[in-house]
Structure 1
Amino acid sequence: MEHVSRVLTRGIAGHSVWRYLLNSAVVALGTVLAGSVVALLAATAVARFRFRFRTTFLILLLIVQMIPAEALLIPLFLMVRRLGLYDQLLGLVVVNVGFTLPFAIWMLRTFVAAVPKELEEAAAIDGAGRLVTFWRVLFPLVAPGLVATSIFSFITAWNEFVFALTLINDQGGYTMPVALGFFTSQRSTDWGGIMAASTLMTIPVIVFFLLVQRRMVSGLVAGAVKG
């Protein structure tokens, strides 16, 4: 508790620890929200529609997952700087969304494909349009998969280090994983500070998981009953 109190009162590298936690929260939640919308729409298109190069698109998603993040670091840095998003949390969100999308699309595709088409056809016969069918029929049944991908995206963006260190220059804009590096110097390492800050860093992840756990379980039960 002594080290935790010291980190909370003194901060890290002249900045409050809450600032670093807030930066991480903005990046993680932005990644979850933007990535979930894009992944759900893409997964629905892949699972429900037949188009040219559909299989090629799915294979490319797997290939992208095999590429190490370090190999994409320089191209992403140049792209973010050209877009004017360097040293901004928005640029980090965009990169994290692109990094988590392939897995999210593959996972959500399975959930969308598991929903019987007859449910959507029945809604169409009753006069529901595509948007109403998507929101009232498909979305509630795919919600458990959306929660699962959200957990993956949140944890990935929350713990991401390499992109945050490269794309953010201002120390006040660092995320929590990068801020932990301030406890290490050439002469010594403040292990007490690292463990205290790491403990504080894990609390939001646990809270996020507890918040979405009930929705995931209730969504699974509701999906089984509606199916």
Structure 2
Amino acid sequence: MTPKTRKLLGKIGLNTAAVLVFLFAVFPVYWMISTAFKSNEEIFTTRFIPFPTDPTIEHVERVFSEGVAGHSIWRYMLNSAIVAIGTVLIGAVFSLLSATAVARFRFRGRTSFLILLLIVQMVPAEALLIPLFLMVRRAGLYDQLIGLIVVNVALTLPFGIWMLRTFVAAVPRSLEEAAWIDGASRFTTFWKVLFPLVAPGLVATSIFTFITAWNEFVFALTLISDQGSYTMPVALRYFVSQRSVDWGGIMAASTLMTIPVIIFFLLVQRRMVSGLVAGAVKG
């Protein structure tokens, strides 16, 4: 076998593996959307039905008309949006400032702080449930969306700092020094030189933070007791009763729940590309 043939077979094997991984990842999403438009007879049949033979929107209409647990589905979507967007905005500010401090300044305990960030990420979130619950209740933030936002920021902040630190460290110091020589202040240098170059990393971190806060279930269920303040993941559990499971309602509501995530990703993806181009030009 010639080297060219081995290289071709290697590419074929690699592409095949990539396609299989892609299909494995996409299949649950496809099955969710497909089930949302199937009738109850097709959902509970033992036969494999890849596509709905007679598509129906009865499940979607029922979710919109009846709501969940006595409240409109839009209320739960709004609560999830408030929590996710609040977590992204607050987390982005603290992550960027902290990452800049860690990457640009040398201070006592810097290495220990970085190691602590890694340790915190390895701790299961469930292990922090009781301590965070007690802290939120003592702070008077129990049963409030702001309390859930604070907890989500605390859970996603270590990853954001560690990820943005790499982007900040990759920016040459000479760019900032040139701006200082030209008379720019530290804030001007940070905003017009460093920020455009770090913006793509900030967008990537925001995507992770948004998805994490949007899909978070355990802390939302523990810290929120008022049904009107539930987020979408918590509201979905009302489709499951002791004797039956409303699969059509779950899949319809889950499909609606994925739409804001897709929209957010498409919006920030454009910002990511523009940030890369702007950073390259200014550099």
- Which TM-score applies when normalising by structure 2? 0.79
Q: Does 1:130 align with 2:191?
A: no
Which residue does the alignment assign to 2:230?
174
Shift of residue 217 of structure 1? 1.2
Aligned residues: 227
- The answer on 1:68 being equivalent to 2:124 is yes
Aligned to 2:195: 139
1:91-117 deviation per Cα after TM superposition (whole angstroms, max 9, x unaligned):
000000000001000110011011111
| Pairwise CA distance, 1:224 | 2.8
**Amino acid in the other structure paired with 1:198:** S
Of 157, 161, 164, the residue aligned with 2:220 is: 164
Letter in 1 for 2:161: I
RMSD over equivalenced CA pairs, Å: 0.7
User: Aligned ranges for residues 40-79 of structure 1 at < 5 Å?
Assistant: 40-79=96-135
Structure 2: gaps spanning 5 or more residues? 1-56
Corresponding residue number in structure 1 for 2:87: 31
Q: C-alpha separation between the residues in 1 aligned to 2:111 and 2:124?
A: 23
Q: Give the equivalent residue in structure 2 for 1:109.
A: 165
List alignment gaps of at least 5 residues for structure 1: none
Inter-partner Cα distance in structure 1 for 2:173 and 2:166 = 14
Corresponding letter in the other structure for 2:177: E
SS of the equivalent of 1:165 reads helix
- Checking the alignment, whether the CA contact within 8 Å between 2:193 and 2:282 is kept in structure 1 is no
Partners of 1:98 and 1:208 lie apart in 2 by 22
Distance 2:81 2:174 in 1: 40
- Percent identity of paired positions between Structure 1 and Structure 2: 83
Per-residue displacement from partner, 1:6-38 (whole Å, max 9, x unpaired)? 101110010000000000000000000000000
Matched, 1:15 2:45: no
Alignment partner, residue 212 of structure 1:
268
Pick from 155, 160, 177: which aligns with 2:211?
155
Residue aligning to 1:221: 277
Shift of residue 85, structure 1, vs aligned partner: 0.2
Task: Work out which of the two has the higher radius of gyration on C-alpha atoms and give 1 or 2.
Answer: 2
Contact kept, 8 Å, 2:69 with 2:238, in 1: the verdict is yes
Any idea what SS the aligned residue of 1:220 has? Answer: helix
The alignment partner of 2:198 has SS state of helix
C-alpha contact (below 8 Å) 2:71/2:228 kept by paired residues? yes
How many angstroms apart in 1 are the aligned matches of 2:69 and 2:151? 26
Counterpart Cα distance in 2 of 1:5 and 1:119 = 56
Per-residue deviation, 1:225 = 3.2
Runs of 4+ in 1 over 3 A off after TM superposition: none
Which amino acid is the alignment partner of residue 122 of structure 2?
M
CA distance in 2, matches of 1:88, 1:225: 44
